[in-house]
Amino acid sequence: MGAVSEDEGAELVSAYAIEAEREAEATLRPRRLSEFIAQHRVREQLDLLLQGAMRRGAPPEHILLSGAPGLGKTTLAMIVAAELGAGLRITSGPAIERSGDLAAVLTSLSTGDVLFIDEIHRIARPAEELLYSAMEDFRVDVVVGKGPGATAIPLDVEPFTLVGATTRSGLLTGPMRDRFGFVGHLDFYEPSELDVLLHRSARILGVALTDDGATEIAGRSRGTPRIANRLLRRVRDFAEVRADGIVNTVNAQAALRVYDVDDLGLDRLDRAVLTALVRSFGGGPVGLSTLAVAVGEQPDTVEEVCEPFLVRAGLLARTPRGRVATAGAWRHLGLTPPDRLALTNLLGQGPAGRPDTMGNGATPVPDLFTQDP
């Protein structure tokens, strides 16, 4: 059997959706709020919002869901439509390039429909401004023609509920954010919550999953349901092909070694970043671009794919001078971290007045960006 490619191993613990797994994800999505695991506060608030709207016989206020990729924003949008018994239209911010694109979608909605816009912070500005009047007054003004002869034609829109999802709520404009009546933030899952989720997914997929096997997978899933379900499917494949078909601790550990996912959920690229930071730069601080070159990746890949989890796991720190490996990162790589004094120097100045990137008393590495070599 061929070895697992580096790209496949990296995708395994990516929180972003992979096109090839859309169908598998749809099978595992909960259909009702009562089936949705964790996010208890958001679930309760949404339930009150939807129940109140249904009792009044009117569409609920517009809903904004924020949080990291893979936590269930799309699933919650589908659940909102299902709970209301309404139709669902799905699109994304990058797909709406012109105001006419959005107008076509809005005017095709029926009364009470739910419009879901994923990555709503990336919607084009002209379309966003058109969306303001649609959200508030259920009306859009379509401009026909150009120049002095241009005419605005008002079109009524059936009352609808907009559900927007964003991974970067800070990029939303103030006027857009203010038009949402409900804003919910989805948090990362606890391992115990992922354990419950994995048992539910195993029942749907017909996988023999033991309690210790679920615990093993949950601990490597980065607090993200999408990653947990993906790891479950890969461990299932391993168990069926190379073992007895049961997903237990032994088979899970063996499978994830094949896919290069360690006990913290780090993949090849994550460990490459930490290894370069510790071994090549003495723990830092080092700039993002320099670190990206050291691991052979683009800076935005390191910043957006690797760093969020490494920072959350306490393995990497962002400082004004650059990225710094924490003591936990040294220990995770099987190395002895610098002592407290050396670690202080890593975050400040070395004995010679320059950044001490190798530990207390070591020859400082020249700061090529702020001082002469």
Q: What is the C-alpha separation between 74 and 63, in angstroms, rounded?
A: 12
Determine phi and psi for 223, rounding to 5 degrees: 70, 20
Q: Please say if 73 is a catalytic residue.
A: yes
Q: What is the C-alpha separation between 344 and 322, in angstroms, rounded?
A: 14
Q: Please say if 187 is a catalytic residue.
A: no
Give the active site residue among 75, 161, 166, 167: 167
CA angle 88, 92, 94 (to 5 degrees): 160
Q: Please say if 224 is a catalytic residue.
A: no
Give the active site residue among 220, 222, 226, 230: 226
Element (DSSP H or E) covering residue 9:
helix 6-12
Q: What is the C-alpha separation between 167 and 146, in angstroms, rounded?
A: 36
Give the active site residue among 118, 195, 267, 270: 118
Contact 318, 278 (CB under 8 A): no
325 Cβ contact list (under 8 Å, min separation 6): 274, 277, 278, 283, 284, 315, 316, 317
Structure tokens at 370: 């702020």
Chain centroid, CA 209 distance in Å: 26
DSSP state letter for 356: -
Q: What is the C-alpha separation between 333 and 124, in angstroms, rounded?
A: 44
Give the active site residue among 73, 220, 236, 268: 73
Give the active site residue among 74, 75, 224, 357: 74
Q: Which residues form the catalytic set?
A: 73-74, 118, 167, 226
